[in-house]
Amino acid sequence: MIKKILLTVFIFSTLFIPSLSFAKEQAEVLFFHSIDCPHCKKEGLFLDKLEDKYGDKILIKRLEVGEEENVRLLMEYGEKLDVTISGVPFTVIGDKYFNGYLSDETTGFKIEEAIKELLDKTGQADPSETPEGVNNINIPIFGQIDLKSFSLPIITIILGALDGFNPCAMWALIFLISLLLGMKDRKRMWILGSTFIVASAFIYFLFMAAWLNIILFLGFILWVRIVIALVALGGGAFNVRKYFKNKNGACEVSDGEKRRKIFDKLKAVATQKKFILAFFGIIALAFAVNLVELICSAGLPAIYAQVLAMNDLSSLQHYLYILLYIFFFMLDDLLVFFIAMITLQLSGVSTKYSRFSSLIGGILMLIIGLLLIFKPGWLTFG
45-49, 136-140, 224-228, 333-337 — most confident range:
45-49
Q: Does residue 346 have a pLDDT over 70?
A: no
Q: 322 and 207 in contact (C-beta within 8 Å)? A: no
List, for residues 27-38, the tens digit of each pLDDT value: 889 999 988 788
Q: Helix, strand, or coil here: 145?
A: strand
Instruction: Output the average pLDDT for the chain.
Output: 75
Average pLDDT over residues 134-146: 49
Alpha helices in 181-298 (DSSP H): 186-218, 222-245, 257-270, 275-297
Closest by alpha carbon to 351, among 165, 192, 91? Answer: 165
Percent of the chain exceeding pLDDT 70 equals 71
Using CA atoms, how far apart are residues 147 and 131, in angstroms rounded to an integer?
Answer: 14
Domain 25-129 = CATH 3.40.30.10: yes
Segment 142-179, tens digit of pLDDT: 455 555 445 788 889 888 888 877 666 566 677 777 77
Please tell me the least confidently modeled range out of 200-214, 289-303, 345-359.
Answer: 345-359
- Which pLDDT does position 170 carry in this prediction? 65
Sequence-distant (≥ 6) Cβ neighbours of residue 192 within 8 angstroms: 176, 180, 270, 278, 279, 282
CB 232 within 8 A of CB 366: yes
Cβ(31)–Cβ(60) under 8 Å?
A: yes
- Determine the pLDDT at residue 17: 38
CA quadruple 288, 289, 295, 298: dihedral sign: negative
pLDDT > 80? residue 120: no
How many CA atoms within 13 Å lie on the side-chain side of 72?
A: 3
pLDDT of residue 3: 43
Amino acid sitting at position 356? F
Please tell me the distance from the alpha carbon of residue 181 to that of residue 176, in angstroms, as a whole number: 9
Where do you find CATH 3.40.30.10 in the chain? 25-129
Rounded to an integer, what distance in angstroms lies between the CA atom of residue 300 and that of residue 358?
11
Q: In the prediction, which pLDDT does 84 show?
A: 80
Q: 198-240 pLDDT, tens per residue?
A: 988 898 899 899 988 888 777 555 677 788 888 888 888 887 8
CB 136 within 8 A of CB 270: no
Higher pLDDT, 78 or 293: 78
Residue 122 pLDDT > 70: no
